[in-house]
Structure 1
Amino acid sequence: MFEISSLDPYMSNLAFCTAGKESSDIERHSSSVPAPPFPQIYQVGPDLVWISMGSLMRMAMYMGLHQDPNNFGHMTVKDKEIRRRLWYTILEFNVQAALDSGISPMIQESDYNTQPPYNVSDDDVENAVQEDFIPKNSTTILLPSLLAKSLPLRLGVARIINSLQEETSYDHILVIGNELAAICRNLTAAVDTNPSMSDAYPTIQFAQNYCSHLLRRFSLCLHFRYAIKAKKNAPYSHSQKVCLEAALDLAALLEDRLYSRLLVTGGGMFRDIITRGALLIFLELAPDPEIETSNSAKRRSHARQSVLLEDARRVVQYAEDRMRHGETNVKGYEFLRMMLVQAEGRFSGLLTDGDLPKSLNDGLDTCHEIL
């Protein structure tokens, strides 16, 4: 089904990454948490995940999950809802695997007509015993429902990002990016206006962070190729702003003690902070020598960079924590560490020629100690 509480095999995987008291909390309060792509929890490579998703997708279509259950014969409301939730869970796995593997999704919106699940809780579905009973949609947006309704858009975004054909026009990128931004705003509004989504339980915050991660990584990937060109191509400055905000949102996920356990142990999408987010943060910290600024502007920039440096330090610490939890690729950590030393040196005005070699040697010593 569409939620962790309905996917017993995934519960054990999630509990593995959140061992301790939090794992029991998940079992009690997981009804609002969409199921994570469990192969990535164990750092399975994106190529293998994508191949597995192909088999899963074809199996689901062979079972007829891609056709709305209203087109079939006699079926209870509960069974219909189960089929819809299962289908949209598989679609979520598919679109995330496509984004990680760099290959277009194996399905598009025209290939299925299954309607999104009702915006209702599991209890309402369990109580739908009459054949003609239709669960009443909740007045507040539930996180799984929001993800399901955004899937057609995100499938299209993944197809654009991974397309091998002619590059999409930047105007179209801006239009799609605005639609993604609207979905992210809906997520924020759903959290702010729904009393049941308070952070009283760690797993409620986990659900919010997981959904935020699923959505914002699409904005980051969509605008990334333009954001890195923004300093030399002013029309792309909007993409740089969008990517930076997405990168900072992803870095902020490290503040959640429960979700950060998944970030330091998982693969695939859980490495977004290192693979793309960190580059945007350090790119923002790099000065543009061609821009002349007044003293007041320099002071404002200095204050802003002070905050960004804290995020940069957090990302470097995250890269080190990943190695302590099994990551064996030291190049990413060394690269980020040297960029941090360079950014701190420029910020303080005390950067010397020997700082980078020293940082490299110190980083290698740290890697040798860990590995």
Structure 2
Amino acid sequence: MATVYFRCFEPVHRILHEPTFWAEYPSLWENPESMNASQRLKILLVIGIGSSLHGEAGPDSELRDRVQQWIYTSQAWLSGPLEKDRLNISGLQIHCLAMLARQIFSVGGDLVWMSMGSLIHRAMQIGLHRDPRHLPSMSLLQAEVHRRLWYTILELLVQSSLDSALPPRISLEDFDTDSPSNINDDEIDESTTVSQPHAKGTYTSTAMQLQLIDSLQSRLRIVQLLNGLRSELAYQGVLTLSRDITDACRACSKFVADNRSAGVTAFQWNYCDYLVRRFLIPLHCPFASEARLNPLFNYSRKVTLEATLAFLSPEPDDYFSRLMATGSGMFREGFRYAASTIAHEILVQAQSQRDDGTFQSNTRQLDFLKQAMHDLTALSWERIRQGETNIKGPMFLSIVLAVANSADKDAVCELTMAQNARDSLVLCYDILEARARAAPWPSPNDGSLASSSGDGDQDALGLEFSLDFFFPNTSLW
């Protein structure tokens, strides 16, 4: 499981120096008393995150329960008195791993933006926002870990800002840390004094993070515009930022194609593309909803649909498919964006074809969208099988399909929509009932009774499946 973590997550979110980790790793099993709390927590969180892609770690398995307890323990340790063993690089590494694990395992995964405030403040308190050249002398390895960790924190921050629709808490003027060097972990250690970074087009253990950093400035600007109370979203600015994101996706695709033989995996490509491309949908949604009335915004409608279809057809990879079926937070929000976008587009297309009388004769485009809707519905059911308890998603999609399948919108009565919704609810009920029968009963003193899954947190805030969240001017019902 630790190997899976370093193969899949670490190349994208640079948190640890791999040789250092593996040097400490055997002590957990051979001489655990020799390890301090931070070393143990790092290893357990790495194992836990890697277990999310392990075939035996089902939604109600004993292993998953144990990983959740490790996450709670890490959060409790981070919340303790700010002693020296917390306010340092090791403490920040544990904080980053915990933020990632919370979203993977739905432990308050939709509320990480609040915790990211603490993380970014701690990082700035110890100087990560300043490049090492401005700080007291440190080793080459320490400087590289410093830079990698800072940009990992920024990446997690902009993702949480996008998901929470809240400000990112930082601007480009608040830091001057240089990008990390394009160098492999095994090429530097504490004794290294001189290194020769590889060319940017060369694949190394840091190369995927550098691909994300290239678009970080544009994505930070996007969340500032979307979530700022006094920001004005001018369309020309939207087009400029959209071009930056599209160019970044194309550059990453080319980099992956050029470095297949060097070790780039399908998971790494899918993951990086997902983290960057998903910014296009909320950026264009306010204008895409106006495209019916103002054809000048048809480009926004095209961009949101293409981004959604890209989500639904990543390069085949079992690990990435499993992550999208189990994760919350930033891993679930892409699914929510896609569902709202496809739902809006299929309703617009169906109504347009009803109006011009081609609903029965020109079915190719509408059938394509319906198939995408069926794929999303299947994914929503799979997410419920894998641990999610929010059944509104598949019910929402089923109701939209009822409207889209009717040649006469006025003939779509409430009974038809209710029947589709009921069929979806029955299936969800059967899935949840099967999970409940298979899950072991917790004891009265089991701490898991007091824990809550992050999958329900959005509903507590009123952010449930609705076209209004993404398309506030939609009137298609």
- Which is further off, 151-160 or 13-22? 13-22
Q: Which secondary structure does the structure 2 equivalent of 1:137 belong to?
A: coil
Aligned counterpart in structure 2 of residue 19 of structure 1, from 44, 49, 54: 54
Aligned match of 1:318: 379
The letter of the residue matching 1:123 is D
**1:268: how far off?**
1.4
Q: CA deviation at 1:180?
A: 1.0
Match of 1:361 in 2: 422
Write out aligned runs for 1:40-55 (5 A).
Answer: 40-45=103-108, 48-55=111-118
Secondary structure at the counterpart of residue 279 of structure 2: helix
Distance 1:96 1:289 in 2: 35
* Contact 2:360–2:407 (Cα < 8 Å) also in 1: no
- Which residue is equivalent to 1:113? 176
Count residues with an aligned counterpart: 351
Distance of aligned partners of 1:195 and 1:330 in 2 relative to their CA distance in 1, 3 Å threshold: closer
Percent identity (aligned): 32
SS in 2 for 1:289: helix
Aligned to 1:205: 266
User: Separation in 1 of the partners of 2:308 and 2:155?
Assistant: 21
For 1:327, the equivalent position in structure 2 comes to 388
Q: CA deviation at 1:273?
A: 4.0
1:224 aligned to 282, 285, 288, which one?
285
Q: What RMSD in Å do the two structures reach over aligned CA positions?
A: 3.0
**Gaps spanning 5+ residues in structure 2: where?**
1-9, 18-41, 58-95, 433-477
Displacement, 1:364?
Answer: 2.0
1:194 counterpart residue number: 259
Quickly say closer, same or farther: Cα 1:235–1:352, change in 2 above 3 A: closer
Amino acid aligned to 2:382: D
TM-score by length of 2: 0.67
Residue 219 of structure 1 contacts residue 246 of structure 1 at CA under 8 Å; is this kept in 2? Answer: yes
Give the Cα–Cα distance (whole angstroms) in 2 for the partners of residues 326 and 139 of structure 1.
39
Amino acid at match of 2:202: T
The equivalent of 1:125 in structure 2 is 188
Look up the equivalent residue of 2:289 and give its one-letter code.
I
Judging by fraction of residues, say which structure has more helix: 1
| C-alpha displacement of 1:138 | 4.3
Q: Secondary structure at the match of 1:329?
A: coil
Q: Distance in 2 between matches of 1:113 and 1:190?
A: 26
Q: Measured at CA, do residues 355 and 116 of structure 1 come closer, stay the same or move farther in structure 2, by a change above 3 Å? A: same
Query: For residues 316 and 84 of structure 1, do their structure 2 counterparts lie closer, same or farther at Cα, with a shift above 3 Å needed?
Result: same
* Segment of structure 1 superposing worse, 145-154 or 188-197: 188-197
Match in the other structure for 1:98 = 161
1:90 Cα deviation from its structure 2 partner: 0.9
Contact 1:191 1:198 in 2 (8 A): no
Return the offset for 1:345.
4.7
Answer whether contact 2:103 2:110 (CA < 8 A) is retained.
no
- Bigger radius of gyration: 2
Deviation per CA, 1:46-66: give whole Å up to 9, x if none.
563111111111111111111
- The CA distance in 2 between the partners of 1:340 and 1:209, in whole Å, is 28
Q: The residue matched to 1:213 in structure 2 has which SS? A: helix
Q: Determine the C-alpha separation between the residues in 2 that align with 1:329 and 1:14.
A: 23
Could you list the per-position Cα deviations for residues 226-260 of structure 1 after superposition, in whole angstroms to 9, with x for gaps in the alignment?
21222222221111111111111112249532112
Does the aligned pair in 2 maintain the 1:244–1:280 contact within 8 Å?
yes
Q: Where do 1:116-155 residues align within 5 Å?
A: 116-126=179-189, 129-140=191-202, 142-155=207-220
For the residues of structure 1 that align with 2:282 and 2:119, how far apart are their CA atoms? Answer: 25
Residues of 2 paired with 1:291 and 1:345: CA distance?
Answer: 9
**Bigger CA drift: 103-112 or 66-75?**
66-75
CA distance in 2, matches of 1:87, 1:187: 21
Out of 270, 273, 276, the position equivalent to 1:215 is 276
**Corresponding residue SS for 1:37:** helix
Alignment of 1:206-285 (within 5 A): 206-253=267-314, 255-285=316-346
